Amino acid sequence: MSDTYQPKRLLVTGGAGFIGTNFVYYWLEQYPDSRVVVVDALTYAGTRSNLDGLNDHPGFRFVEDNILNQEKMEALLREESIDTVVHFAAESHVDRSIYAPDAFFETNITGTHSLLKAAKKVWMDEGNLKTAHRFHHVSTDEVYGTLELDDPAFKETTAYQPTSPYAASKACSDHIVNSYYHTYGLQTTISNCSNNYGPWQYPEKLIPLIISNMLEGKTLPIYGDGQQIRDWLYVDDHNRGIELIINQGRIGETYNIGGNNEQANLSLVNQLCSQMNTRYPDSEHAPHESLIQHVNDRPGHDRRYAVDTQKITSELGYQPIETFETGMQKTLEWYLDNLGKWEVTVSLFGTH
């Protein structure tokens, strides 16, 4: 374990998206005296109103811009005396990457490189923070490829075998981040997380899509046989892992963050239906399982993801707090109790 690092002024990219929004709230709750500058291009999945609860926080600032704008990123790093970048900004939906991959390569590869160049120039070439900075890159378990049912979980040393344009773009960005550590000495860390769920998620993703469709009595689409297995990670457990890596992680290292909750998609949807049946027993759509419909599988659909969290557990003491049951209950209750905060994205879903 490295000496404890104490970030004071953070630039959070993609901070108006799902995980970024939750991270900003989490960080300012844990460190209320921090300065957190969010930069987000506000593409379809980024929503400025997600962060309205922080508008009066003295340490919070929002900037609408794109990480591809290297000059603006450099100016923000200088102007705000940023010492830590937490890089969430990415195109992340596999289905979109299959049918429209260009944006994934532009944002996830070129955008990440643009941000790295800005950080290197301000922190190292100009010498502003040559020996005291962090660049944390948030990645995915999908870079490792797919697993068979009896395969061991992905380790940080597992060879990359991405199978979708999304996964390939994230794998490339991981390698670029590592190259800036090994070649230039930029103080980088990387985390590869499993499937996140929780508040604020854009409803093209499985859990909020299923919730919104149940509310409206629409079909609950399940790809193929529904036996694709994912390790489900509650978003604030993910944020706890990122916090540990930023504060205590070894520079130049990669850490897997998982929830230790492997679930098949069909099982997950059935559990959501059961919870909705309990919440709304008199709904005209109950039992909600009747809305399930199997559809043709998507091209190249990975069968199973799972990450081995031994490294972050042994080195940094990471443990997820939420079980799958408690995390799912919190998630469902948030969506049902906060319809006004995500109804805009529900109404927009299907138009992209």
In the annotation, is 180 catalytic?
A: no
Per-residue pLDDT of the chain (352 residues; tens, 9 = 90+): 457 899 999 999 999 999 999 999 999 999 999 999 999 999 877 889 999 999 999 999 999 999 999 999 999 999 999 999 999 999 877 778 888 899 999 999 999 999 999 999 999 999 878 779 999 999 999 999 999 989 999 999 999 999 999 999 999 999 999 999 999 999 999 999 999 999 988 887 888 899 989 998 999 999 999 999 989 999 999 999 999 999 999 999 999 999 999 999 999 999 999 999 998 899 999 999 999 999 988 887 878 989 999 999 999 999 999 998 999 999 999 999 988 776 554 444 443 2
Q: In angstroms, rounded to a whole number, what is the distance separating the alpha carbons of residues 215 and 209?
A: 10
Beta carbons of 267 and 168 less than 8 angstroms apart = no
User: Could you confirm whether 166 is annotated as catalytic?
Assistant: yes
Q: Which among 141, 204, 231, 262 is annotated as catalytic?
A: 141
**What structural domains does the chain harbor?**
9-200+233-259+305-321 (3.40.50.720)
Which of 83, 91, 142, 243 is catalytic? The answer is 142
Note whether 85 and 131 are within 8 A (CB).
no
**CB 23, CB 15: distance < 8 Å:** yes
Q: Catalytic: which of 5, 166, 180, 255?
A: 166
234 in active site: no
Reported as type and span, the H/E element at residue 295 is strand 292-295
